[in-house]
Every structure is written in structure tokens, then in C-alpha cells.
Amino acid sequence: MKMGKVVEIRCSVKKGSPKKKLKVANFIQGFGLEGDLHAGKDGRQVSFMGIETFRVIQKSEVKGYCTNKFVENITTENIELWNLTVGTELKIGETIMRVTKVGKECFRGCPVREQEGSCIMLNQVVFANVLQGGKIKIGDSIKILKPSEVFA
């Protein structure tokens, strides 16, 4: 299996404003991305979406709210987020994160869900909690840990 990598990091400073792109970010154990509006929400401290998923959304003829309303904290590449399960642990930069939720509910009234009956966001967005804090930078690898490797 190819190792995934971080291609973008984004932080929501305040509701309604565009997410700020970061080259390096600090993730706080039990809280999430430092300075992020959504940090601290149990079970959804950090959000992930693959660049591959973003490309599928961009090519879709039916545009939904996901194309301009949802922006993940970490954009990944070469990791099949849709194959991860709740409890999977990831080593990213100095951090260790545990997947807490796979999938994002559609925004109410989303045209994609109404016209297509389903949405890629339902299984290709992942949320995680920060088990071990630290820095993550663009280009860092994403490694899926076996349970015996956590905190080794």
C-alpha cells in the first residue's frame, strides 16, 4: 500500500470566513487544530478529505453545498479514507490521531443528495481525535498504525 501524504492544511478562524491555508500547523492532544473554530468538538476534532474526492466533486455536473461549504482541515493524497474504520490510528507528522467517524452528513437541502440520491461525502470524509499532539506540515506522510505501534 502506498503511504498517504498531507497536501493541504486549513484552519477555520471564524464562522463564515474562508479557511486559512497553513504550511505547518499545531495539533493539540484531545482538542484538535490550534486556532480552529471546530476544534474541541468531541469525535470531530480534525476533518480529512482526499484530493481524489475533491476532484470527483469538482467534475460532477450536479453541484452541491459540499463544493463550497465544507472544507476539511487536512487534505490527503494516496490514502483511501473510505477504507478506514472507526478506531484506525494514523501517524501524521508528530501526531497520532484516531478515526472517530467516517462520512459527513449532507447539508440540508443539498442538490446532490436530492438529485443523485447519494453523495460522495457520506463515506469519503473522515473525522479524528488527536491522541498525541504535535506539528504537521504539508508533505508529511500519513501512516496507518497497527495497534502495537501506537505510542511505541
What's the pLDDT tens digit per position in 6-62? 999 999 887 777 789 999 999 999 999 999 988 987 778 999 988 987 787 777 665
DSSP assigned state of 115: H
| Percent of the chain topping pLDDT 70 | 74
DSSP 8-state class, residue 69: T
Instruction: For residue 103, give the 3-state DSSP assignment.
Output: coil
Decide: helix, strand or coil at residue 3: coil
For residues 97 and 14, the model is more confident at 97
Does pLDDT of 63 surpass 90? no
Residues written for the chain: 152
pLDDT score at 152? 47
The whole-number average pLDDT for the span 87-94 is: 96
End-to-end CA distance of the chain: 22
Residue pair 71/12 in contact (Cβ under 8 Å)? The answer is yes
